[in-house]
Structure 1
Amino acid sequence: MTDIIIAYGCEIRDTGNERDVVAYLNANADSAGTGKWTYPKGAKTHTVRLVYTKSEFAAALDKSGAVVVYDGHSRIGQGPVFGPARTPTCPGITAFPTNPWDDNFRMGWDFAAIDCIGDIMHHGINPAEFRLPTSVKGVFASKGLLKIVEDAIAAKSTRCGTPKAWRSLSACFPREAARVNCRGGSPLAGRHYYRARKGGTDFDTLVKVGDADLKKQKLACAVLFMNSCSSKRHFLGALRRRKAAAKSKCMFYVTGDSCSANTTLLFLKAVLAGTDVSKQSKAILKVMNGLAGSGFISLEK
């Protein structure tokens, strides 16, 4: 019997994509309880579970032979996030003492490059800032991310007008740095930026990420489909490192770009039809990538 576990993240769990998967399962499989089905009707060759929490996603990664899908946001490389249905874009502190958008499953590079206004303020998060090192030796990151750090180090300046330098938001854009978010905090105060958008509409900064959560996993699953925007760029490096350390045989489906199509449903149908997606990828990749908004999915070791 093949176990299929689909983990839906914040916001995506409230979309028509999730509802279409539920409708398909209700029509073609037997209910085995809330969020659980056996397929096909009247038989049990597959079990399907839909989960919505970080702990359930972690458990899925360690379920031997399972086919696991994460359908949610990459959070610009900060990692998957989970929350209750209709989680607000910027959750108030009273209703959400812990902000779901700031409670990532850590499975990436040492740091991520994110937007100060478009992400930190937008979601009311307050991620730890990545401390600029004196060199990139020993830093686990992609070539693109390392180039940002190398340029900032080479700038040798904190002056507001120096391009690519690691500059203080409070010193250079005090009004923006003092802004208060929906949770009553000022998460930009004391932060640094390496690039300002035209007219100071937004600022790019670096925040700590790492792969602390992924390191706890055995990756006993047979397949992991990271159906989130640019998951190849954000997570494949850490996934491969953990796979080697854990001596796992898990295979990874990842996206090369932003994605919005319901490729999770197509992937689910292929697995239920008996396709061994750990090996037979050509046909399912053609079908999924034939959809607009697929994100250019690939199978990686």
Structure 2
Amino acid sequence: MSASILSQWREHLQTARRRSPHTVRAYVATAQRLTERLALDDWQGVAALSTRDLRGQLAARRADGLGNASAARELSALKAFVTYAREQVGADPGTAPRLRGPRIKKGIPRPVTPDEATNLVEAVAESGGEDWIGLRDAAVMLLMYGAGMRIAEALSLKASDLPLGQTLVVTGKGRKQRVVPLLPIVREAVARYAEACPHLLTGDSALFRGTKGGPLSQGMVQKAMARARKALGLPDTATPHALRHSFATHLLGSGADLRSLQELLGHASLGSTQIYTQVDAAKMLEAYRSAHPREKD
């Protein structure tokens, strides 16, 4: 019976909540650990869980070495699961257990400089082995740095999106759509890859392909970035996602307003975008300390 409620939970997350595949996997895994530990096999049992039960589940996970950030995500998944269970049995979802998660210190993104971004794209293009693979990886990187796309958004593009125009409709988290402008250098990079790609790019098939013709995975992009990062002597923080951070930071430093940046990045709340003001302020302070004569005394 437990498998049945987990299947229903997965279906709810995929269809009704439209969660990403990664989130679905994480939420279902969390629910499975809970139901197995407490031997729950129906919605009534899950709906009856108390704050003490959830605290005990988190304590058990903490004993496994779960950190603060992971514990906060786990708690969010547990509360969503119990709330859904209460809806299934006709109970008031608002009376679901209330439990505060651990405090998470929000880290400031570590963007790369414009020169580093350019060098990374060039290094990726040169380290692909086959020419078309280098062109492919460079095109993906430029979509993140030149258009602020998430890696999953870039890899979700279809062959039918070709040829790219001056703007592109991107479907981000929560199936939320936004329009992003595409610079000529980004469009040209994608066009060069598409022309060189040995696999047939038609219809709703994936635009970016692996060596055997299947959809390109995030892991392959991350490996390409790691090789380029190592070759250039850059820190481990120079990840594919850092290119998106760089897109945001450089735009903000050039005078873009937060609301426009929020739209370009596809953030649901302005609070998620405001972290880039901290990045810009940190860079200004660093420049001040390195240039001000009193700082050198």
Q: Which has the higher strand share?
A: 1
Q: How high is the TM-score relative to the length of structure 2? A: 0.24
Report which of the two has the higher share of helix: 2
**TM-score, scaled relative to structure 1:** 0.24
Report which of the two structures shows the higher radius of gyration computed on alpha carbons. 2
